[in-house]
Structure 1
Amino acid sequence: MQERAFPLIFADRVTATAEFYERLGFTRWRQNPPEGEPTYIALRRGTAELAVVSTAWPETQYGSPAGRGPRFEMFVLVDDLDMTLKELADASVPLLRAPVDMPWGERIAYVTDPDGNPVALAAAPHS
């Protein structure tokens, strides 16, 4: 058995949310349905995996509606935080918090995905 675990991101805008993560280096490797507007998109970045799933999923799978407001916070390491933030700003991705150097050595900023969920972007300081 292959050992793996990955988060499901509930999104009203499945395609737009998946495209946001593709901008952060994830690649699409599966979607359902295979043609047309997807309700499930699986993404990979190295050994990291995540799936962007329609907010209808929890209701249809186990009878509980997806919550409103932030449904998760994602943390993504990037090589160049300033360049990534510029590319995201050029794509009209909202900045929630400007970069800050943290006491433990990382430089962190917050943006939001298309569904308004916070995404922490972090890079190690330049040596």
Structure 2
Amino acid sequence: MFPMLSCENLERSLGFYRELLGGTETYRFPEDGPPAFISLRLGESEIGLGAMGSGAPLHGQALRPAQGHRIELCVYVEDVDATTERLRAGGVPIVLPPSDQPWGERVAYVSDPDGNLVMLTR
């Protein structure tokens, strides 16, 4: 599965997924000029980030306003606490600070620039 997010501000989302979470760019369209779509590798997974643009989307469904909890992304990190603090320092909203879970993982929840929940776990 390859999740793709519609981003209100692609540069802001790139700052989150590429700069703060360490994603590596694997694809860009178009290759020259401002991008409309970028794929990033995070660990062994990839995510697509697409600029919302001003025209109607191909599928014809409205991209905004989205209501409620639409999607939750899980990102495995080396150190949940250190990653959460780095994101906090970068201005990222912390939804749930790091905590140990009964199933053995340590998790934290943050919000990406478009309001999507991102679970950080180890």
Give the TM bin, normalised by the shorter chain: 0.7 to 0.9
What's the TM-score once normalised by structure 1's chain length? 0.83
Is 2:101 aligned against 1:102? yes
Amino acid at match of 1:37: P
C-alpha distance in structure 1 between counterparts of 2:91 and 2:57, whole Å: 33
Q: CA deviation at 1:45?
A: 2.4
For 1:71 and 1:11, locate their aligned partners in 2 and report how far apart those are by CA, in whole Å.
14
Give the aligned length.
Answer: 119
Larger deviation, residues 45-54 vs 79-88: 45-54
Shift of the alpha carbon at 1:21? 1.1
Change (3 A) 1:40 1:57: farther
Which residue of the other structure, out of 35, 50, 63, is the alignment partner of 1:38? Answer: 35
| Bigger Cα displacement from structure 2, 21-30 vs 67-76 | 67-76
Give yes or no for contact 1:27–1:44 (8 Å, CA) kept in 2.
Answer: yes
Where does 1:81-100 land on structure 2 (aligned, <5 Å)?
81-100=80-99
RMSD: 2.0
Picking from 43, 58, 63, the partner of 2:60 is 63
Q: Which residue of 1 aligns with 2:2?
A: 6
Measure, in 1, the Cα distance between the counterparts of 2:47 and 2:54.
15
Structure 1 unpaired stretches of 5+: none
The residue aligned with 1:19 is 15
**Segments ≥4 residues shifted beyond 3 Å:** 56-59
Seen in structure 2, the aligned counterparts of structure 1 residues 56 and 65 have a Cα distance that, compared at 3 Å, is: farther
1:34 Cα offset (Å): 2.1
Amino acid across the alignment from 2:43: G
Corresponding residue for residue 122 of structure 1 = 121
Given that residues 95 and 110 in structure 2 are in contact (C-alpha distance below 8 angstroms), is that contact kept between their aligned partners in structure 1?
Answer: yes
